[in-house]
Structure 1
Amino acid sequence: MKEIKVPELAESITEGTIAEWLVKKGDQVEKGDPILELETDKVNVEVNADHSGVIAEIMKDEGDDVEVGDVIAKVDENGEAGGSSEDSSDEEDKEEAKDEEKKESKEEEASDQKEEKKEASEDKQEESSEGKGKNDVIATPAARKRARELGIDLSEISARDPLGRIRPEDVEDAAKGSKEEKKEAPKKEAKKEKKSDKQSEKTEFDKPVKREKMSRRRQTIAKRLVEAQHNSAMLTTFNEVDMTAVMKLRSERKDAFLNKHDVKLGFMSFFTKAVVGALKDFPLLNAEIQGDEIVQKMFYDVGMAVSTDDGLVVPVVRDADRLDFAGIEKEIGRLAKKARDKELQLNELQGGSFTITNGGIFGSMLSTPILNAPQVGILGLHSIQKRAMVMPDDTIEVRPMMYLALSYDHRIVDGKEAVQFLVRIKELIEDPYDLLLEG
């Protein structure tokens, strides 16, 4: 019989939750076959069979939390799919034999105890006939026997007999009083707790509710977001950008772009290029804090927040500064699809230096994005709305406008740098030809 254990997942991941078993007891598996899907903090991963054979036992259920090294199943290398009735019969015979042995052992033990009690009773009868016991307590043999059975100290029992002789009924009364005292306190506490719980439930929810356990990823997201707020001096600065030039350029080039690169020209490639350009001008927003050191990153791995059914994930576009518009659009599309299909790998989620999140696709007008720690900057995009704008010549025109939000860690990024960073993005988006020229 071979064990299947939770394998090493990644340096930062030591546990997960069993999302789904892909096999059941009695199934035939080959070495390397996927047997279950494990939900971790970041991605879902498949665990493969370490041995070929038949699944003899499943140790953990769906929804159970497991750690690296835990035994989750056992494989019978010599078994046959569907299980063997002969093996099952042998196992049952073994169990019955064990039960018989246990039963005989208990009967022998009980017989020995009876003999010991009989001898002790005879000794006590001799003591009582002389009028004294070990503690000079006068008691009938039956009372002494009952006291031993109940674990009562005869010296603590008050006799009702005028001569002071303790009888069995005195022992029973003492035992009854002791039990009532022991039971009274826990009962009172239990009643108080139950009453308190019921009152709490009624006070909190007067109407029906539905409870559902948070997924491991949702728990991790919640934990990380709270940690980001507690462990950083997070502030947000805002600006607005005129999308006229980008929308015009995109309208003019989108068909040719699609025919040439087989991918649509979206807004995210413009903002990714703009972010890279701004990070080069303000490198502290491409840094992080490690202990008492500021680590400036000399690369531009930009995270793209993607919403999935299981929560928000942030896959990373590597070396965004080296990609052209088509390369960025293709990479964003590839990562977004893998995120929705739950096929992202751990290395596609790690090591980003800055993050972009686009709440505008859901209709958000304005928000304050939370930092993706340990990064110190995140850019929030919002929906495009036509608004009446006063132009430099004092004329009023209707322009497609978008609010931008930059959240940053004030511990290493000053307000001046944050504002100038956002202004630089605004300038690059409002004059996108600079982006095209800089490539």
Structure 2
Amino acid sequence: MSEIKVPAMGESITEGTVSRWMVKEGDTVNQGDVLLELETDKVNIEISAEESGVLEKIIRQEGETVEIGETIGTLSAGSGGGSGAPASEPAAEEKKAVTPAPEAPTPPPAPVAAAPESSDSAKTASPSARKLARERGIELDQVQSKDPIGRVYQDDVKSHNNQAPAAPPASKAPAAPSAPAAGSSTYTKPVERQRMSRRRATIAKRLVEAQQTAAMLTTFNEVDMTAIMDVRKRRKDKFKEKHEINLGFMSFFTKAVVGALKKFPTINAEIDGEDVVLKKYYDIGIAVSAKEGLVVPVVRDADRLGFAEIEKSIADLASKARSNTLALSDLQGGTFTITNGGTFGSLLSTPILNTPQVGILGMHKIQLRPVAIDAERMENRPMMYIALSYDHRIIDGSEAVRFLVTVKELLEDPESLLIEG
């Protein structure tokens, strides 16, 4: 018999959550078959069988948190053996349990010991709810769930009365609403409770940490996108024909950011204790909205890439993010981040730092606005607001403003990107 353990997944990851088991107890698996999917702070990882055999026992259930190196299941070696027989010959085992007299005393104790587990599995419940129910000797089948889909949570178990006269208190429910305070989990109108995914919880934690640990400020400017849109209009067909990728806006912005970072290196740095680490390379993070939350894969050495290479790299990373196949190496080590809220219609926003980075550029929706060309003339131009959030601990306001002005100037003169970017 071999143990299925949580593998090491990088220095920054110490635990994960069992997202789903792909196989059931008693299933035969081959070496290399995917056994389960593990959700970590950054990516979802598939754990495969290291040898062929039968999945004998699942120790950690879906939704439970596990640590690196922890045993989460057991696999019996071989193609079948002892643990494979129950799955393929249930009827034969039932006959054996009835016919031989000596074996009859053995099965009865098992149902008694397994009763809490069978009640757990009879109703969908969170790991904390299952644990509390076991501690209090409560059968989950008897617990009333407030969740519309019937999932039992810890609060449901806490509020459950395990005594026979449980019905009368329920009839006095009208008096209860006056008692609960602000922290009560009792709702008088329909709600849906959803458990926060590990990735969403990590995003929430990191965003709060960024605001609490960095002296974050934001400066704004606007870009006249006329020149870039003209270049794209004239070049997009030949560009796609030659490189088999569309010429988007992100390559222009990436090149402009690299050019501005070369001019203002402190914005491409990070704080390490009392030291400022100035990075001499340009790994640009591109924020991508995925199903389970925002992720920031990194375009490596963006200063050495052409427009087509940047567009292909971004398209590939975005595809991986949406199909949940990003590797840890795709997410680590960015020096600066670009986020585009304009794809969702945002006209103006304040991006939050992707720590330990000290700068992030926010793009927004392109909108026609009247612009004064000179004292006599007004024109409708495609304008975009851009925002730079920065860590004021090492970046002065004047430096941040000049950085953003440099980005604006490079974008409004696309040919300069070939030199500065």
Please, what TM-score do these two structures have when normalized by structure 1? 0.74
Distance (Å, rounded) in 2 between the aligned partners of 1:229 and 1:68 = 29
Q: What is the alpha-carbon distance in structure 2 between the residues aligned to residue 438 and residue 95 of structure 1? A: 83
Report the more deviating stretch, 286-295 or 22-31. Answer: 22-31
Q: 1:357-410, CA deviations, whole angstroms, 9 ceiling, x for partnerless residues?
A: 000000000000000000000000000000111113531111000000000000
Which whole-Å CA distance do the structure 2 matches of 1:95 and 1:198 have between them? 53
Matches within 5 A, 1:147-158: none
Residues of 2 paired with 1:95 and 1:267: CA distance? 74
Matched, 1:83 2:65: no
The 1-side partners of 2:312 and 2:323 are apart by 17
Instruction: Give 2:118's aligned residue.
Output: none
Change (3 A) 1:330 1:197: farther
Residues 261-320 of structure 1 show CA distances to partners (whole Å, capped at 9, x for unaligned) of 000000000000000000000000000000000000000000000001100000000000
Say whether residues 1:7 and 2:10 are aligned partners.
Answer: no
- Determine the structure 2 residue equivalent to 1:302: 284
1:424-439 matches, within 5 Å, as: 424-438=406-420
Measured in 2, the distance between the counterparts of 1:347 and 1:379 equals 22
Which residue number corresponds to residue 134 of structure 2? none
User: SS at 1:199's partner residue?
Assistant: coil
SS at match of 2:8: coil
CA contact (8 A) 2:51 2:77 kept: yes
For residue 59 of structure 1, what is the aligned residue in structure 2?
Answer: 59
Alignment of 1:220-235 (within 5 A): 220-235=202-217
Match of 2:236 in 1: 254
> Residue 297 of structure 2 corresponds to which residue in structure 1?
315
Q: CA deviation at 1:31?
A: 2.6
2:338 pairs, out of 351, 356, 359, with 356
1:199: which partner in 2?
180
Structure 2 letter corresponding to 1:45: I
- Which runs of no fewer than 5 residues in structure 2 stay unpaired? 110-174
Residue identity opposite 1:411 in structure 2 = R
Which residue does 2:353 correspond to in 1? 371
Q: Is the 8 A contact 2:52 2:79 kept in 1?
A: no
* 2:281 matches 1:280: no
| Partner-residue secondary structure (3-state), 2:84 | coil
CA deviation string 1:235-276 (max 9, x = no partner): 000000100000001100000100010000000000000000
Among 193, 216, 225, the residue aligned to 2:198: 216
The Cα shift of 1:9 comes to 1.1
Could you say if the C-alpha distance between residues 203 and 17 of structure 1 is closer, same or farther in structure 2, counting changes exceeding 3 Å?
closer
CA distance in 1, matches of 2:333, 2:105: 58
1:32 maps to which residue?
A: 32
Offset, 1:196: 9.3
Whole-angstrom CA distance in 2 between matches of 1:394 and 1:339: 49
The answer to which of 48-57 and 408-417 deviates more is 48-57
Counterparts of 1:229-248 in structure 2 under 5 Å? 229-248=211-230
The change in CA–CA distance for 1:46 and 1:229 in structure 2 (over 3 A counts) is same
With 37-46 and 198-207 compared, the bigger mean Cα shift is at 198-207
Q: Deviations over 1:412-432 (max 9, x none)?
A: 000000000000000000011
The whole-number CA distance in structure 2 between the counterparts of 1:416 and 1:312 is 30
CA contact (8 A) 2:341 2:363 kept: yes
Map 1:86-101 → 2, pairs under 5 A: 96-97=105-106
1:406 aligns with 2:388: yes
The list of structure 1 runs, each at least 4 consecutive aligned residues, that deviate by more than 3 angstroms after superposition, is: 85-100, 194-198, 200-206
Aligned-pair distance for 1:337? 0.3
1:80-132 alpha-carbon deviations (Å, 9 max, x no partner) = 188214899599778945989xxxxxxxxxxxxxxxxxxxxxxxxxxxxxxxx
Matched with 1:155 is none
> 1:392 aligns to what?
374
Q: List per-residue Cα deviations over 1:176-235 (Å, max 9, x = no partner).
A: xxxxxxxxxxxxxxxxxx969962377974422111100000000000000000000000
Contact in 1 for aligned 2:223/2:385 (Cα 8 Å): yes
Is the partner of 1:284 in helix, strand or coil?
helix
**Residue number in structure 2 paired with 1:291:** 273
Tell me how large the CA RMSD over aligned residues is: 2.6
Q: Percent identity?
A: 59
C-alpha deviation, 1:77, in angstroms: 0.9
- Structure ranking higher in helix proportion: 1
Q: Deviations over 1:320-339 (max 9, x none)?
A: 00000000000000000000
1:15 deviates by 0.7
Q: Which moved more, 1:390-399 or 1:310-319?
A: 390-399
Residues 197 and 44 of structure 1: CA distance in aligned 2, closer, same or farther (over 3 Å): farther
Alpha-carbon distance between aligned partners in 1 of 2:379 and 2:186, rounded to the nearest angstrom: 53
Asked whether the equivalents of residues 266 and 394 of structure 2 are also in contact (C-alpha less than 8 Å), the reply is yes
Match of 2:314 among 308, 311, 332: 332
CA separation in 2, counterparts of 1:202 and 1:331?
Answer: 48
Classify the secondary structure of the residue corresponding to 1:42. coil
Aligned residue pairs, count: 347
Corresponding residue SS for 2:245: coil
SS at match of 1:84: helix
Q: Which amino acid aligns with 2:205?
A: K
Answer with 1 or 2: which has the greater Rg.
Answer: 1
Deviation at 1:30, TM superposition (A): 2.3
Q: CA deviation at 1:57?
A: 0.9
> Which residue is equivalent to 1:269?
251
- Aligned partner of residue 370 in structure 1, secondary structure: coil
Counterpart AA for 2:48: N
CA distance 1:203–1:346, change in 2 (3 Å): closer
Point out the more displaced range, 327-336 or 11-20: 11-20
Q: How far is 1:32 from its partner?
A: 2.6
Give the C-alpha shift of residue 33 in structure 1: 2.1
CA pair 5-362 structure 1, distance change in 2 beyond 3 A: same
Task: Report the alpha carbon displacement of residue 63 of structure 1 after superposing the two structures with TM.
Answer: 1.2
Contact 2:42 2:199 in 1 (8 A): yes
